[in-house]
Amino acid sequence: MPHTPEHIASTTLPANTAPPKPLPRPGESIETTRSRLVYQSRKRGTLESDLLLSTFAQEHLGTMNAEELFEFDKVRSRLVVQSDFFFKRVLFF
């Protein structure tokens, strides 16, 4: 049954799981990177995270250089929103 301790244990990532890495995108222009990150920041899956990330992206990605964009991409890809909406848990690795 959903939301039982057994179900939560079977759907939770182990503590030693490596965080996901952004996909390598050789040859992607800085403008394409900005556009992609703005779009991906709007489509995280929950309204709360969509609003937080997309607002930040719209306000700050335009002034970031390639290295800063890569760091933002790493942070964005590490955000894991668990599907356990009763507890509204958001985990950062």
Domains of the chain: 28-91 (1.10.150.250)
CA geometry: angle at 92 spanning 89 and 93, to 5°?
135
pLDDT tens by residue, 61-83 = 999 999 999 999 888 877 654 43
Render pLDDT for 8-67 as a digit per residue (tens, 0 to 9). 677 666 667 776 677 888 999 999 999 999 988 887 667 777 888 889 999 999 999 999
* pTM to 2 decimal places: 0.63
